[in-house]
Chains A and B, each alone.
Chain A
Amino acid sequence: MSMLTLKSSDGEEFVVDEFVAIQSITIKNMVEDNCASNTIPIPNIDGKTLAMLIEYCKKHADETITAEDLKQFDSEFVEKDQAILYHLLLAANYLNIQSLLDELCFDCGVSFGFPLLLLDVFLWILLVRDVAFSLVPTQLR
C-alpha cells in the first residue's frame, strides 16, 4: 500500500494512503499518469483546509463505517463557518472531490451539476442572504 505526501500552500505536509487520496480525481489522474512523485505540492490550498479535506476523504474511504455513521459525519462536517466552507468548496472544486462537492452544494441549496464557474457569484448571493437571515432575529428581538 503506497503513501502519498500532500504539501499545502503554507508548507504543511500530510502523509496519506494512496487509496484515500485518489478520491480526488485530480490526484487520481496524477497517480495513474505516473506523474506523481511522492510529494505533491498543492499551492492553492492552505494547511487548515487541506487537513479538513483529508479528514473527509479518510472517513469516506473507510470500509468499516456504517451508512448512518457516515451520514452523521457528513451533516456535522458541513456545520462550519461560512468562510471555512467557502475555502472547502473551492478546494474540493480544484481537487475534483465529487462527493464533497455534492454535499456542499446540496447544503447550499444549489442543485448538483450547476456550472461551478458561476459558483462564486452564487456564493456571494448566498452569503448575503445568510447575513440577512442571521440579522433578522436580532432585529426582531
Chain B
Amino acid sequence: MSNNQKKRNFQIEAFKPKEVVDPKYAEKTWKILENAIHEIYNHIAGGLNLEELYHNAGGLNFEELYRNAYNMVLHKFGEKLYSGLVSTMTLHLKEISKSIEAAQGGLFLEELNRKWTDHNKALQMIRDILMYMDRTFIPSNHKTPVHELGLNLWRDNIIHSSKIQMRLLNTLLELILIERTGEVINRGLMRNIIKMLMDLGPSVYQEDFEKPFLEVSADFYRVESQKFIESCDCGDYLKKAERRLNEEIERVSHYLDAKSEAKITNVVEKEMIANHMLRLVHMENSGLVNMLLDDKYEDLGRMYNLFRRVPNGLSTIRDVMTSHIRDTGKQLVTDPERLKDPVEFVQCLLDEKDKYDKIISLAFNNDKTFQNALNSSFEFFINLNSRSPEFISLFVDDKLRKGLKGVSEEDVEIVLDKVMMLFRYLQEKDVFEKYYKQHLAKRLLSGKTVSDDAERSLIVKLKTECGYQFTSKLEGMFTDMKTSQDTMQGFYTSHGAELGDGPTLAVQVLTTGSWPTQPSVTCNLPAEMSALCEKFRSYYLGTHTGRRLSWQTNMGTADLKATFGKGQKHELNVSTYQMCVLMLFNNAERLSYKEIEQATEIPSPDLKRCLQSLACVKGKNVLRKEPMSKDIGEDDVFLVNDKFTSKFYKVKIGTVVAQKESEPEKQETRQRVEEDRKPQIEAAIVRIMKSRRVLDHNNIIAEVTKQLQSRFLANPGEIKKRIESLIERDFLERDNADRRLYRYLA
C-alpha cells in the first residue's frame, strides 16, 4: 500500500456503515422482500413479463430490493433471509402443486410444463435480487445456493408429491406406449418435461423415469417379439426388429437424455434379438441357410448388423454358415455325377467360392472372421477328395488349352488367381505338382497352349507361393522347348538341301528329370521316319557330345496326308503310334491284329487303345475292323475305311489330350508321389535333428509336419518309418534310458 503522506488523522467512526442496526429493521426489510417474492409468483402466473413486473403499480424496484437484501446480509440477518426464502417459496409451490393436481387428463402435462416454466422465471429473478446473499452468506454457511434450492424445492413439493409422482410417470409411459403403436404425440411437450427431470438431477431422471421406462419397455418388447416370431418369417422379423430399434434411437434423440440411448437399445437388442437368435437362424424355409442359398444380400446384411449388437450374435451366424458350407462342399466333392467331369467340378468350386465372397463382401461387411471361416471350410472339404489336386490341374489344363482363348490379359490373370486360391487350400500340393507337370508336358509337346504368357504367369504365381524348387523343373521344360526350336533350325540349315521333299521332322529334346518320367517303350518307326531320325541323332550328338538320346514314341504326333478310296483327301493329325499303324497300310490291304503287333512292336495295351481310336470312334474311323465290335480282340482284322468322310479337311485323331486318369494310372501316380515323399521327410528329420541335437518322438512328428505342410500332410506312421530307417543308417540313435528320445549322430 501506498503513500504514507496521505493518511493522517482519520476518524475511525467514519468507517462504520452508515445504516443504524434497528431490531425492527430486519423484520421490516424482510417483509419488503417477502412481498416481492409473492408479487413475482403471482404476476408471473398471471402471465406478466419481467419488465412489466418491475414497472407496475406494485412498485417493485430491482435496485431497492437488491439493496434491501444486501443490507440484511451485511447486518447479519442472512439466516432470517434464507429461511424466509425457503418457507415463502415452499408456500407457493404447495399452491402450484394443487393446481397441477387439479388438471384433467391431457392437460396435466401441459399444466406441469407451464408451471415449471413460470417457476424458473421466478427463480431467476429471485436469485438476481438475492445475489449478494448467494455470493457471501450461502457459501460461508454451507447452505444450498438459491438456484439449486429452487430446484430442490420444486422436486420435493411437486415431483415427489404423492398425488403427482405416479401420475407423472404413468402419463409419460402411456404416451410412449401410444407412440409405439404408431400414433403421433406431442414431442415438444415430452421434451420439456423430460428436460425438467434431467435439470432436477441425474438421480431424479433415472429413478423417476428412466428405470421404470426401461422395465416397461422390456415387457413391451418381450410380448411383441413373441408375437412376431410366431407369425413372421425370419426376414420379416428382422425388418421389424430393425425398425423398432431405429424408432427407439429416434425417440431418444427427440426427447430423452442421450445417455438413455445405449440403455434402451440394449433392451430392444436383448428382447428382440438375443432371446430369439437361435430360433431365427434355424427357422425353416426362411432362416440363415435359406438366405445363403438364395443370395438374399439385403436380409443377410440386416441379420449381420442386428446380430453384431448382441453377444455371440456373429459367432452364431458364422458357425451356421461354416457348417452349411462344409456340408454342401462335402456333398459336392463326393457326388459321383459331378466327379465325372473334372473341369465342371472345379468350376463348381470356384462358383461356390465366388458366391460366398460376394455374400461376405455385400452383406457381412468384409468381416475377416467370416473370410477365415470360409477359407477353413474350403480347405476342409477340398481335401476330403484325394483327387482334388488332379482335378484342379485338369481345370488349368482345359483353360490353357482353349478356355482362355480370346480372353483379355486382365481376365486371364483373374482366372489364374482364382486357381491359385484353390491351390492354396490343397494339403497335398506335391500331388498337384506331379499332375501339373504331366499336363504341361502334353500341352507343350502338342503345341496346344492358348497363350505362352498365361503359362508363364501361372508358373510365376506358383513360384511366389511355393518357392523356386517347386517351379525350377517346370521352367526347365519351357527352356527345352525353346532350345529345341533352335536345334531344329540348325538341323535344317545344315541338312535342308538333302532332305528335300521327304517328311518334315520336328524334334523336341527333353532333359530327363525336368519332364515327367515315362518308361521307354518299343516301337518300330516306318522306314522313312527312322532314317530321318538317325540323321537328326547324329547331327545332335555331333554338337552335344557325352549325351544320350532316346526316342519317346509314346509322346509324339504326326500329320499324315491320306487319300481314301473315293479320292477324298484329308490331313490326319495322329499320335506316333497311330502313324506307325497307318503307314503299314501303304503296303497292305488288310492286316490282322497280330501282324500289326509284330510289325510295330507297340506294347499291347497301348496298341489296343490306338487301334480303338482309329477304328471304333464315329467320325474318326479311318480304319475298318472285322468284326465290328467295340473292343479290340486279338483275332480282329483291320482294313482302310474307303468310305471315310469328314466335312473337315484336317481331322484330328490324336489321343494326347490330358484326361482324367484311369484307376490303375491313378494308383501308379499316387505310389510315385509316396515314393517322392520319403526323401523329403528324411531331409526334414535330419535338418531338425541337426539343429536340436536331442528331441523326443512327439516333438519330431510335430516339427516335421510343420516343415512339410506347405507341400503335403505328412503321415505320422510314415515319419516313424523314416526315423527307423535313419537309425539303421546311423544318422540318429535312440537314447539308452528313454526309448522315446532321439539323438543326432554327427
B521 an interface residue at 8 Å Cβ cutoff?
A: no
Cα–Cα, bound, A34→B50 (Å) = 6
Binds B, one of A10-18, A22-30, A60-68: A22-30
Contact A79 B3 (CB under 8 A): yes
Nearest residue, chain B, Cβ from A37: B55
Contact A117 B137 (CB under 8 A): yes
Contact B55 A33 (CB under 8 A): no
Nearest residue, chain A, Cβ from B15: A86
Contact A29 B131 (CB under 8 A): yes
Evaluate whether A35 and B136 lie within 8 angstroms (CB atoms) in the complex, with A78-B2, A79-B2 already known. Answer: no
Contact A26 B7 (CB under 8 A): no
B14 an interface residue at 8 Å Cβ cutoff?
A: yes
A70 an interface residue at 8 Å Cβ cutoff?
A: no
| Contact flags B632-658 to A (C-beta < 8 A → 1, else 0) | 000000000000000000000000000
A52 an interface residue at 8 Å Cβ cutoff?
A: no
Contact B53 A35 (CB under 8 A): yes
| Contact flags B41-64 to A (C-beta < 8 A → 1, else 0) | 000000001110111000011111
Evaluate whether A116 and B128 lie within 8 angstroms (CB atoms) in the complex, with A35-B62, A83-B10, A94-B70 already known. Answer: no
Of residues B7, B10, B61, B74, which shows the largest number of chain A Cβ atoms within 10 Å of its Cβ? B7
In the complex, which residues of chain B have a beta carbon less than 8 angstroms from the beta carbon of A26? Answer: 66, 131
In the complex, which residues of chain A have a beta carbon less than 8 angstroms from the beta carbon of B140? Answer: 115, 117
Nearest residue, chain A, Cβ from B66: A26
Q: Which of A42, A81, A117 contacts B73 (CB 8 A)?
A: A117
A141 an interface residue at 8 Å Cβ cutoff?
A: no
Contact A35 B51 (CB under 8 A): yes
Contact A34 B49 (CB under 8 A): yes
Which label, helix, strand, loop or mixed, suits the secondary structure of the A interface? helix
Smallest CB–CB gap between B727 and chain A, Å?
91
Interface residues of A in 39-96 (CB under 8 A from B): 40-44, 78-83, 86, 90, 94, 96
B6 an interface residue at 8 Å Cβ cutoff?
A: yes
In the complex, which residues of chain B have a beta carbon less than 8 angstroms from the beta carbon of A127? Answer: 12, 15
Contact A33 B74 (CB under 8 A): no
Contact A83 B128 (CB under 8 A): no
A20 an interface residue at 8 Å Cβ cutoff?
A: no
B135 an interface residue at 8 Å Cβ cutoff?
A: yes
Contact A36 B62 (CB under 8 A): yes
Contact A35 B137 (CB under 8 A): no
B124 an interface residue at 8 Å Cβ cutoff?
A: yes
Nearest residue, chain B, Cβ from A86: B15
Q: Number of B residues whose C-beta is below 8 Å from A?
A: 37
B4 an interface residue at 8 Å Cβ cutoff?
A: yes
In the complex, which residues of chain A have a beta carbon less than 8 angstroms from the beta carbon of B55? Answer: 35, 37
Smallest CB–CB gap between A4 and chain B, Å?
12
Contact A41 B63 (CB under 8 A): yes
Contact A80 B6 (CB under 8 A): yes
Smallest CB–CB gap between B146 and chain A, Å?
13
Q: Which of A79, A83, A123 contacts B14 (CB 8 A)?
A: A83
Evaluate whether A25 and B63 lie within 8 angstroms (CB atoms) in the complex, with A81-B6, A134-B4 already known. Answer: no
In the complex, which residues of chain B have a beta carbon less than 8 angstroms from the beta carbon of A40? Answer: 63
Cα–Cα, bound, A82→B7 (Å) = 7
B20 an interface residue at 8 Å Cβ cutoff?
A: no
B627 an interface residue at 8 Å Cβ cutoff?
A: no
In the complex, which residues of chain B have a beta carbon less than 8 angstroms from the beta carbon of A120? Answer: 17
A108 an interface residue at 8 Å Cβ cutoff?
A: yes
Contact B7 A134 (CB under 8 A): yes
Contact B10 A96 (CB under 8 A): no
Cα–Cα, bound, A33→B14 (Å) = 35
Smallest CB–CB gap between A38 and chain B, Å?
12
Cα–Cα, bound, A99→B137 (Å) = 20
B722 an interface residue at 8 Å Cβ cutoff?
A: no
Contact B7 A130 (CB under 8 A): yes
Contact B3 A34 (CB under 8 A): no
| Contact flags B1-32 to A (C-beta < 8 A → 1, else 0) | 11110110010101101000000000000000
Q: A30-B63, A44-B70 are in contact. List 10 more A-B contacts (CB 8 A).
A: A26-B66, A35-B50, A35-B53, A35-B62, A41-B64, A81-B7, A86-B15, A94-B70, A115-B139, A117-B136
Some 13 contacts from A to B, beta carbons below 8 A apart, are A33-B62, A33-B124, A34-B50, A37-B55, A41-B64, A81-B6, A81-B7, A83-B7, A94-B67, A116-B135, A117-B73, A117-B137, A120-B17
- Residues of B participating in the A interface, judged by any CB pair closer than 8 Å: 1-4, 6-7, 10, 12, 14-15, 17, 49-51, 53-55, 60-64, 66-67, 70, 73-74, 124-125, 128, 131-132, 135-137, 139-140
4 smallest CB-CB distances across A and B, nearest first, come from A35-B54, A34-B51, A35-B62, A29-B128
